Chain A
Amino acid sequence: MRLGTHIYSTILSIQGPLLFLDRVIEARMSEVVRITFPDGHQAEGEVLKIEGDVVLIQVIGESRGLDADHTQVAFTDAIKRAPLSLAMLNRVFDGSFRPIDGRPMFIPDRWAPVSGLPLNPVARLRPQDLIETGVSAIDGLNTLVKGQKLPIFSCAGLPSREIAAGILEHARAGATDASGGSGGSVVVFVALGLTFHEHAFYRQALERMRGDSVAFINLASDPVVERLLAPRFGLTVAEHLAFEQGRDVLVLVTDMTNYCDALREVSAAREELPGRRGYPGYMYSDLASLYERAGRIKGTPGSVTLLPIVTMPEDDITHPIPDLTGYITEGQIVLSRELHQRGIFPPVDVLPSLSRLMQRGIGAGRTREDHRVIANALYMHYATGRDLRRLEAIVGREGMSDADKKMLDFADAFEHEIVHQGTVRRTIGETLDASRGLLARFGLVTPQPAATGGSDLKE
């Protein structure tokens, strides 16, 4: 603890959002500093590195207007924290947690460090309670459960926002959920580097929503560094609502690609060694420090479920951003340009999509007893049909056996009747009934759950 505030104006150099300060006594790693510009306005900064008495500071917000002679830097002796109170519900903030909805800032009950603390793996409750999104391709084949982190991998121009907005409006915890949160669900919406147009779209979706929400909005024109901060505010708020207030919190972050680009920009400014495609080598750990905050805790009712949206640069799933995301998250929902072009909405490609926590979230007592069997059968036959499309392109439909033609028709029907649903929402029961009907129509016997594995994948 320091007795007084330390204020310095010993600036060595300024490089983009970075400030080197000389002759500093006892700076703290990640300490928040208040920077007073020569024209009198203030911004915050954070200590990134300390070498003896030289301190590297990252300016949060615009660094234009800084100079080496008159700028003052005050050290606060504290790391970055988020204000917490239930009064933040249904408010809209910017990437620095300032209200932008025209109402005054609330009075916080307490403050919590934004970086959060790692959750003890022993304290984690195994996620297994369904969240119904109303989207068949997700509920039926890639089921989402409370406490999961499931990203949507999109491509430029695909309707990821419409899907996200639909989930926001309609998602509900499964009816069979016994542990249920106390005060209903809350959506924490974090917008990173959005255009004004996209932002307006989401604002409307949030207004249509019935439940509570908290929004953090960083627009494309807002400071890059705030893009790194906004999701941490969002998740700190989410942890508070979930684990202290017992709410089921759904955190929607869009677009993680903008987050990673911000991370790269800041890393390059710090002259760090670049990794793949110029992204810093610690991007995996950094993304994990966000994604891993999803989860549930034993003996606590709430949950944090994370739905990040990732736009794959060049539609490439091996690009570092979707790649590292996929390694951390528990599955992924992959959107396909081809399906989109064929007018299918939502254009979810179920083959590369996956929900790792689905196994425990479905079946008797959770969704329906036949869920697993139906999902496996749909998947299996659709994969066969998709494979045959390649063959069809070479030998033509005429050259194929009747059995093969049937599978081709099945794949088409699956895409048009199960994946495609327009703006209609289906309950999990409706999804399974429709799937069962489709399988029956093609004479594909719904396989019995068998004791021997592999055979439940059999035709």
Chain B
Amino acid sequence: MNGRVIGISGPTVSVELAGLKLYDRVTVGHARMTGEVVRIEKGRSIVQVYESTRGLSVGEPAVATGTQLTVRLGPGLLGRMFDGLQRPLESLYAEFGPFIQAGRESSRSWIARSLHFVPVKKPGDSIRIGEAVGYVEEGPIRHHVLADQAGVIDRIREGELDPQSPVVSLSDGRQIFSFHDWPVRVPRPYRRKLTHFEPLVTGQRCIDFLFPLARGGSAIFPGGFGTGKTILEQTIAKFAQADIVVYVGCGERGNEMAEMLDDFTHLADPWTKRPLMSRTIVAVNTSNMPVAAREASIYTAVTMAEYYRDLGYNVLLLADSLSRWAEALREISSALEEMPGEEGYPTYLSSRIAGFFARAGAVETLDGRTGSLTMILSISPPGGDFTEPVTQACLRTTGSFFMLDTDLAHRRHFPAINWFQSFSLYERDVSAHFEERVSQEWSALRQQTRTFLQKEASLREVVEIVGTEGLQDADRLLMKTTEEIRRNFLVQNAYTEDAFSSPEQTLERIRQILKRHAAASERLEKGELLDNVLKERA
């Protein structure tokens, strides 16, 4: 169906085009820019366009595609960098040069072709949707090829993958390829959600020990600029114990993405020793790329993450930052002249956020496997003020909250996770796992650490008034110990080998600190002078 452009306002375009459905994909203009129908009125529809509308003219064509905004899912995704609409950036660079021009589509398919397909079903078998018909070995994982339609297998072809020819032909003539398309705004189905939680080891002592994460859970970390959000996201992306990592650079810096790409191709996954990039998919929409595509980018990413979950893997989705997504939503809402809610954000902000968080979880897949999708999202609150709508909306749904503290960051205490304000709802569930896997002392040592840090905070108030000299020896010793906890345990330099700490190393480190403290306080009690005790410790 063909129509034409009748109005343009920022990232939204009104078109005169009959037969459109809400969220249908439309191409706009001679440059064939992609957009999505976000509002339908009598005689016109409003399309959110994923490219810059500069230079677009009224009267240019608008064409309905009859589909929704989809992503392609199949072998070949791993190790790639896509834009917010899943266009492969390497291919765009090779074909069109360093700058991204509107409406350019790469002519190359990224679907894997050199992999060997091994069937697990045979002709005559009947298959259900979501069931594996075979697999290929893709980098670090076995990539099951899932049926996207049900039927009885007529032919199934072993051998090299070919994106053009089907791997399975069904008895009624329909075909199954090694890939299929899925609409990004529709959560992928699963058999059931699981309620038990296993820990997701991040390699960050402060997180694993004090505020542990669970597979299938969600976490947010809000922080003002300079509090190390991006470094923390990328460090977790490097070291977390996950099979697949999907990283979304949503409205952030281009140079950071260049750095990340550089790092990830050179560093190895500490768990499998393979190059990090081979388990990673990156979706990136930098702050200067079109704002509407930024809104779509997190959906593109979460759909790819769900796909790997459905193959039975533990997937970690990292988004930096959700605030930029919310701002994109606000910008589009404002172009649509919708009634604004708090701080100009649309009133549906919190329900959209809740809907997005609901896509995390550990599930039993349609094929009976277990997979999980964990989300870690950074938030950039304006002015570092956590009372703003995005942080507040996320706090209602998230399972963990790591508050990044500007004061700590100014002291170069990284990761700048505030240990009083942060929380994790998975603490109880995953502690049992750590006690089983690492040590029975896990929870007890954590409680002791917490108590010490809490005590230090109140002692600090005293010190502010009377000075360190005015404290009792036992308290001064405690201050020394907490200083050690802060500097040698909570602080973790992302640029050295210390960037990753296994749960065993984490426990050992805190155990040593607390053991030294116990020994020192014993000597104090026996009447030794604090200065002597401290001197020997140093």
The interface centre, meaning the residue of B225, B255, B385, B498 with most chain A CB atoms within 10 A of its CB, is: B255
In this complex, what residue of A is CB-closest to B488? Answer: A454
The answer on a CB contact under 8 Å between A457 and B491 is yes
For residue A323, CB closer than 8 A to chain B, the reply is yes
Alpha-carbon separation in the docked complex, A293 to B470 (Å): 55
Contacting pair B286 A401 (CB below 8 A): no
Contact digits for B288-319, partner A, Cβ 8 Å, 1 yes 0 no: 11110000000000000000000000000000
Which stretch, B55-63, B147-155, B514-522, touches the partner chain A? B55-63
Q: Is B55 touching A30 in the complex (CB atoms < 8 A)?
A: yes
Complex Cα gap A282–B327 (Å):
8
Give A274-294 as 1s and 0s: 1 = Cβ < 8 Å from B's Cβ atoms.
111000011011001100111
A122-B90, A331-B226, A352-B410 given; A452·B498 CB < 8 A: yes
Closest to A24 in B: B58
Q: Which of B52, B463, B465, B489 has the most CB of A within 10 A?
A: B52
Query: In the complex the two chains form, is B324's CB within 8 Å of A284's CB?
Result: yes
Contacts of B330 in A (CB 8 A): 281
Q: Which residues of A contact B384 (CB under 8 A)?
A: 318, 323
Using CB atoms, name the residue of chain A closest to B44. Answer: A52
Q: How far is the CA of A17 from the CA of B332 in the complex (A)?
A: 24
Chain B residues with CB under 8 Å of A281's CB are 327, 330-331, 334, 344
Listed residue (B90, B327, B384) with the most chain A CB atoms within 10 angstroms of its CB? B327
Contact B257 A49 (CB under 8 A): no
In the complex, the answer to whether B410 meets A120 with C-beta atoms within 8 Å is no
Report yes or no: A27 in contact with B385, Cβ–Cβ below 8 A. Answer: no
Q: B444 interface residue, CB < 8 Å from A? A: no
- Partner among B55, B92, B487 whose Cβ is within 8 Å of the Cβ of A29: B55
Determine which of A50, A116, A453 lies in contact with B9 in the assembled complex, contact meaning CB atoms within 8 Å. Answer: A50
Contacts A126-B255, A126-B258, A282-B291; A395 near B497 (Cβ below 8 A): no
- A430-459 vs B, Cβ < 8 Å mask (1 yes, 0 no): 000000000000000000001111111110
Q: How far is the CA of A451 from the CA of B493 in the complex (A)?
A: 10
Query: In the bound complex, what is the Cα–Cα distance between A376 and B256 (angstroms)?
Result: 22
Once the chains bind, are B259 and A126 in contact (CB under 8 Å)?
yes
B412, A29: Cβ atoms under 8 Å?
A: no
Give the complex CA separation of A30 and B291 in angstroms: 17
Cβ-defined contact, B343 with A119, below 8 A: no
What residue in chain B is nearest A53 (Cβ atoms)?
Answer: B58
Interface contact tally, CB-CB below 8 A = 239
- Chain A residue at minimum C-beta to C-beta distance from B5: A50
Cβ of B499 within 8 Å of any chain A Cβ, yes or no, is yes
* Residues on A with beta carbons closer than 8 Å to the beta carbon of B465: 394-395
Residue of B97, B261, B327, B470 near A285 (CB, 8 A) is B327
Contacting residues, chain B, for A320 (C-beta < 8 A): 382-383
- B287 contacts the other chain (Cβ, under 8 Å)? yes
- If the complex has contacts A115-B54, A121-B286, A275-B344, are A285 and B464 also in contact, measured as CB distance less than 8 A? no
- The stretch that binds A, out of B17-25, B98-106, B451-459, is B98-106
Contact: B492 with A284, CB < 8 Å? no
B443 at the interface (CB under 8 A from A): no
Tell me the minimal C-beta distance from A387 to chain B in angstroms. 8
User: Would you call A327 an interface residue if the criterion is a C-beta within 8 Å of the partner chain's C-beta atoms?
Assistant: yes
What are the interface flags for A116-138 relative to B under an 8 Å C-beta threshold, 1 for contact and 0 otherwise? 11111111111100000000000
C-alpha gap A309/B52 in the complex (Å)? 28
Of residues 83 through 123 on chain A, the ones whose CB sits less than 8 Å from some CB of chain B are 113, 115-123
B526 CB within 8 Å of chain A: no
Q: A79-B55, A126-B255, A383-B412 are in contact. Are A453 and B496 (CB under 8 A)?
A: yes
Q: Is the CB of B286 within 8 A of A457?
A: no
Q: Which chain B residues border A324 with CB–CB below 8 Å?
A: 382
Contact with B along A410-422 (1 / 0, CB 8 A): 0000000000000
Chain A residues near B467: list those with CB within 8 A: 391, 395, 399-401
B254 contacts the other chain (Cβ, under 8 Å)? yes
Max chain B C-beta neighbours (<10 A), residue from A332, A356, A379, A391: A356
In the bound complex, CA of A356 to CA of B411 (Å): 15
Residue of A with least CB distance to B101: A117
Give Cα A379–Cα B467 distance, bound, in whole angstroms.
23
A28: Cβ under 8 A from any B Cβ = yes
- Are A29 and B327 interface neighbours, CB within 8 A? no
Known contacts A281-B330, A289-B288, A395-B467: does B385 contact A318 (CB below 8 Å)? yes
* Complex contacts, B344 vs chain A, CB 8 Å: 273-275, 281
* Alpha-carbon separation in the docked complex, A298 to B470 (Å): 60
Contact A453 B491 (CB under 8 A): yes
Asked if A332 and B226 sit within 8 Å, CB to CB, the answer is yes
Q: A79 vs B102: C-alpha distance in the bound complex, in angstroms? A: 14
In the complex, are the beta carbons of A28 and B57 less than 8 A apart? yes
Point out which of A119, A148, A326 has the most chain B C-beta atoms below 10 A from its C-beta. A119
Q: Which residues of B contact A115 (CB under 8 A)?
A: 52, 54
B468 and A404 contacting across the interface, CB-CB below 8 Å: yes
Chain A residues within an 8 Å CB radius of B41: none
CB pair A28–B469 under 8 Å, yes or no, is: no
What is the bound-complex CA distance between A335 and B307, given in angstroms?
A: 49
Residue B420 at the A interface, CB < 8 A?
Answer: no
Size of interface on A: residues with Cβ below 8 Å to B:
87
Is A338 an interface residue when CB atoms closer than 8 A count as contact? Answer: no
Closest A-chain residue to B412, C-beta based?
A379
One of B81, B255, B287, B331 near A127 (C-beta < 8 A): B255
Smallest CB separation, B237 vs chain A (Å): 15
Assess the A29–B288 pair: CB atoms within 8 A: no
Chain B residues with CB under 8 A of A148: 255
**Structural contact, B497 and A26, CB atoms closer than 8 A:** no
In the docked arrangement, what's the CA distance between A272 and B335, Å? Answer: 9
The distance in angstroms between the C-alpha atoms of A455 and B411, with both chains bound, is 14
Contact A285 B331 (CB under 8 A): yes
List of A residues within 8 angstroms of B98 by Cβ: 119-120, 123, 243, 297-298, 300
A27 to B97, CA, bound (A): 29
Which of B97, B225, B331 interacts with A327 by CB under 8 Å? B225
Q: Does A374 have its Cβ within 8 Å of any Cβ on chain B?
A: no
Known interface pairs A120-B92, A327-B380; A29-B56 also in contact (CB < 8 Å): yes
**A24–B463 alpha-carbon span in the complex (Å):** 73
Q: How far is the CB of A146 from chain B (nearest CB, A)?
A: 11
Task: Flag B1-34 by CB within 8 Å of A: 1 or 0 each.
Answer: 0000011111000100000000000000000000
Q: Judge if A359 is at the interface, Cβ distance under 8 Å.
A: yes
Tell me if A295 counts as interface (CB < 8 A to partner B).
Answer: yes
Complex contact A323–B258 (CB within 8 A): no
**Contacting residues, chain B, for A53 (C-beta < 8 A):** 58
Q: Which chain B residue shows the least CB distance to A275?
A: B344
Q: Is the CB of B101 within 8 A of A121?
A: no
Contacts of A458 on B, CB cut-off 8 Å? 487-488
Q: Does A197 have its Cβ within 8 Å of any Cβ on chain B? A: no
Known contacts: A117-B100, A282-B331. The answer to whether A452 contacts B288 by CB under 8 A is: no
Mask: chain B, 62-81; 1 = CB below 8 Å from A; 0 = not: 00000000000000000001
Pair A328/B56 contact, Cβ less than 8 Å: no
Asked whether A117 and B81 contact (CB < 8 A) given A29-B55, A295-B254, A399-B469, the answer is: no
**Would B499 and A453 count as touching, CB distance under 8 A?**
yes
Mark B425-467 against chain A: 1 for CB-CB distance below 8 A, else 0. Answer: 0000000000000000000000000000000000000011111
> What are the residues of chain B within 8 A of A147 when measuring CB–CB?
255
- Known pairs A30-B53, A51-B14, A121-B284 / 18 extra A-B pairs, C-beta < 8 Å: A27-B58, A117-B101, A120-B99, A126-B255, A126-B258, A273-B334, A273-B344, A282-B334, A318-B382, A320-B383, A323-B224, A327-B225, A330-B256, A352-B226, A357-B255, A400-B469, A401-B467, A404-B468
Q: Could you list some 8 contacts between A and B, CB below 8 A? A: A29-B55, A123-B98, A127-B258, A148-B255, A295-B255, A323-B225, A323-B384, A327-B225
Interface residues of A (CB under 8 A from B): 25-31, 49-53, 79, 113, 115-127, 147-148, 243, 272-276, 281-282, 284-285, 288-289, 292-295, 297-298, 300, 318-320, 323-324, 326-328, 330-332, 351-352, 354, 356-357, 359-360, 376, 379-380, 383, 390-391, 394-395, 399-401, 404, 450-458
